C-alpha cells in the first residue's frame, strides 16, 4: 500500500521590515520592489500586519480573482469591515459584484473609444495650441506647464463642471491617493483642507451644476433610464473627478520623463508618431503612476505555500509586477519597441481602469503635438519627485523643448 502524499504544510510568509510608505521608499521604490519580489511570492509586512505581493504572476492572479481578493473592504490600508472610511466609498473602486456592476456598466460605454471619437479633433487642437505656446519659451516645467496644464484644459470641460474652483481638483486627488496608505505625514498634511476640498468636489456632482453634454450629464441620463439610481449618479460623477485628473497628469509626466531619460526613443517616436499609444502604455508599465492598491482576503487564501488569513489586507505592488524580470525582458528600460500589453498599471480583471481610453487619448494628443514640433526634449535642471502614498509622481521636470 502506498501512503497518501501528505498535503504540504503551509509555511509562514517571509517578513519584510522595510516601510513601503516611508519617504525614502516612495522617493525611489525600485530597491524595495526588488527585495519584495525576491523575498517570495507573498510576504508579511509586520509593521502594518498586511501581506504584500510584488511578482507579476501572483499580482495578476489576485487582480482577476475578485471573489477571494475583494475590493469592497476598501483598496487602501483601512479595512472598511472595522474602520469608517474617510468618505462614502466609491461605487466603482470600493465595491464588488453585484453592487459594482450597474455603475460599471453605465460608465464603461460613456468612456469607451467610440464615445470619445468626437473629442479627438478638439483635444488635438488644444494640445497643438499648448505646445506652440510652450515652444516660445526657453525652458518649461514639463509637469506644471504640460502634464498638469493639458488634462486641466480638456478633462473638466469633458465632464462638464464649471470653471470656478477647479484648483481643487489636483489637491483632492493627491489627498485621496495618499489616504489609501497609512495615516502618515503625507495624509496629515492634507487633513486641514480636505473637508473644504471634498465638499467642493461633491457639489460639482449635482445634476444642476453640470453642463448638458458632458460625461457627467450622461451619467445622470443613465439614472433617468433606471440603469442606476438617482442616489448613485453623483457618486459615479465623483469617481471621474477622483480618478480622472491626478492619474493622467502623472501618467503624462511619466511618458515625458521616459523620453527625457531615453532620447533615442524620442527619435523613434518622431519617425513613427503612431507609436504614441504604445509609448504611453510603456510609460504606464515602466513608471506605473498608480503604484499600489490593496485587496482583502474573503477566506483563507493559499498563495505560494503561505496562507493569507481571511480578512487580512494584501498590498498589491502594480509597479513591482510591471518590472518583474520573470515577466519582462530588461524591465527597467523604457523601450517603445516592446509590447507592454499585459502590464497591470491599469489593473486587471473587472476593476481594470474604466478611464484608460480617456487617458490614452489625452496622452496621444500631447505626444502627437510634440512629435510634430519638437526635435529634442532636453533636461534643463534637476527633476524633483512628488511624494504620495500611492502615486509615483513628479513635482517638477525642468526641460528645454528644441523646435524641429
Smallest distance, ligand OVM to C-beta of residue 240, A: 8
Q: How far apart are CA 282 and CA 173, in angstroms?
A: 23
| Smallest distance from ligand OVM to CB 94, Å | 7
Least CB distance to ligand OVM at residue 176 (A): 6
2 phi and psi angles, rounded to 5 deg: -95, 135
CA distance 366 to 40: 40
Which position has the grid cell 524580470? 325
Tell the smallest beta-carbon distance from residue 247 to ligand OVM (Å).
6
Looking at the Cβ atoms of 238 and 360, the one nearer to ligand OVM is 238
CB closer to ligand OVM out of 239 and 306: 239
Nearer to ligand OVM, 37 or 238 (CB): 238
CB of 156 to ligand OVM, least distance (A): 16
d(CA 87, CA 84): 8
CB nearer to ligand OVM: pick between 107 and 134: 107
Residue 62: CB minimum distance to ligand OVM, A: 16
Rule CB under 6 A: which residues touch ligand OVM? Answer: 90, 92-93, 176, 238-239, 242-243, 290
* Least CB distance to ligand OVM at residue 276 (A): 22
Q: Concatenate the DSSP letters of all residues of 54-76 into one string.
A: -SHHHHHHHHH-TTTEESTT-SS
Closest approach, Cβ 38 to ligand OVM, in A, equals 28
Nearer to ligand OVM, 267 or 352 (CB): 352
**Closer residue to ligand OVM (CB): 183 or 202:** 202
Which residues, in sequence order, are bridge partners of residue 399?
Answer: 140, 379
In 245-294, alpha helices (H) = 246-261, 263-271, 276-287
- Identify the CA nearest to 65 among candidates 388, 340, 326, 295: 295
Computed from CA positions of residues 185, 187, 192, 197, in that sequence, does the dihedral angle turn out positive or negative? positive
Contact 289, 391 (CB under 8 A): yes
State the minimum distance, in angstroms, from the CB of residue 78 to ligand OVM: 14
Write out the DSSP string of 83-97.
S--SSPPPTTTT--T
Sign of CA dihedral 174, 179, 180, 184: positive
Q: Which is nearer to ligand OVM, 92 or 194 (CB)?
A: 92
Nearer to ligand OVM, 242 or 389 (CB): 242
Q: From residue 113, how far is each of 108, 277, 282 by CA, in Å?
A: 10, 13, 20
Q: Could you count the other beta carbons within 10 Å of the beta carbon of residue 153?
A: 15
Q: Which is nearer to ligand OVM, 87 or 327 (CB)?
A: 87
**Residue 66: which residues within 8 A CB-CB, separation 6 or more?**
96, 97, 349, 350, 351
Amino acid at each position: 500500500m502506498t501512503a497518501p502524499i501528505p498535503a504540504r504544510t503551509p509555511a509562514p510568509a517571509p517578513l519584510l521590515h522595510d516601510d513601503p510608505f516611508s519617504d525614502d521608499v516612495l522617493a525611489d521604490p525600485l530597491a524595495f520592489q526588488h527585495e519584495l519580489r525576491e523575498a517570495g511570492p507573498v510576504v508579511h509586512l509586520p509593521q502594518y500586519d498586511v501581506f504584500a505581493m510584488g511578482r507579476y504572476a501572483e499580482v495578476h492572479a489576485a487582480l482577476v480573482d475578485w471573489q477571494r481578493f475583494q475590493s469592497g473592504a476598501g483598496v487602501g490600508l483601512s479595512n472598511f469591515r472595522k474602520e469608517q472610511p474617510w468618505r462614502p466609498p466609491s461605487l466603482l473602486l470600493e465595491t464588488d459584484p453585484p453592487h459594482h456592476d450597474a455603475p460599471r456598466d453605465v460608465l464603461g460605454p460613456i468612456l469607451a473609444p467610440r464615445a470619445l471619437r468626437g473629442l479627438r479633433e478638439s483635444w488635438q487642437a488644444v494640445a497643438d495650441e499648448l505646445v506652440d505656446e510652450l515652444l516660445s519659451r526657453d525652458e518649461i516645467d514639463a509637469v506644471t506647464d504640460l502634464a498638469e496644464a493639458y488634462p486641466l484644459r480638456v478633462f473638466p470641460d469633458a465632464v462638464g463642471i464649471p470653471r470656478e474652483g477647479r484648483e481643487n481638483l489636483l489637491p483632492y486627488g493627491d489627498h485621496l491617493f495618499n489616504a489609501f496608505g497609512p495615516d502618515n505625514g503625507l495624509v496629515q498634511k492634507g487633513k486641514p483642507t480636505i473637508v473644504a476640498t471634498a465638499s467642493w468636489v461633491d457639489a460639482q456632482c449635482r445634476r444642476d451644476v453640470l453642463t448638458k453634454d458632458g460625461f457627467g450629464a450622461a451619467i445622470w441620463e443613465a439614472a433617468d433610464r433606471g440603469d442606476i439610481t438617482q442616489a448613485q449618479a453623483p457618486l459615479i460623477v465623483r469617481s471621474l473627478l477622483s480618478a480622472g485628473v491626478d492619474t493622467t497628469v502623472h501618467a503624462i509626466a511619466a511618458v515625458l520623463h521616459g523620453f527625457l531619460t531615453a532620447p533615442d526613443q524620442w527619435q523613434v517616436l518622431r519617425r513613427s508618431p503612431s507609436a504614441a499609444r504604445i509609448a504611453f502604455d510603456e510609460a504606464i508599465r515602466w513608471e506605473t503612476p498608480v503604484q499600489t492598491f490593496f485587496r482583502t482576503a474573503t477566506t483563507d487564501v493559499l498563495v505560494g505555500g503561505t496562507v493569507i488569513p481571511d480578512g487580512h489586507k494584501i498590498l498589491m505592488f502594480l509597479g513591482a509586477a510591471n518590472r518583474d524580470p520573470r515577466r519582462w525582458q530588461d524591465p527597467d528600460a523604457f523601450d517603445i519597441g516592446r509590447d507592454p500589453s499585459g502590464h497591470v498599471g491599469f489593473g486587471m480583471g473587472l476593476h481594470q481602469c474604466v478611464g484608460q481610453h480617456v487617458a490614452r487619448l489625452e496622452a496621444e494628443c500631447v505626444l502627437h503635438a510634440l512629435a510634430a514640433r519638437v526635435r529634442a526634449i532636453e533636461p534643463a535642471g534637476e527633476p524633483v519627485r512628488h511624494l504620495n502614498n500611492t502615486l509615483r509622481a513628479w513635482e517638477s521636470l525642468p526641460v528645454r523643448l528644441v523646435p524641429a
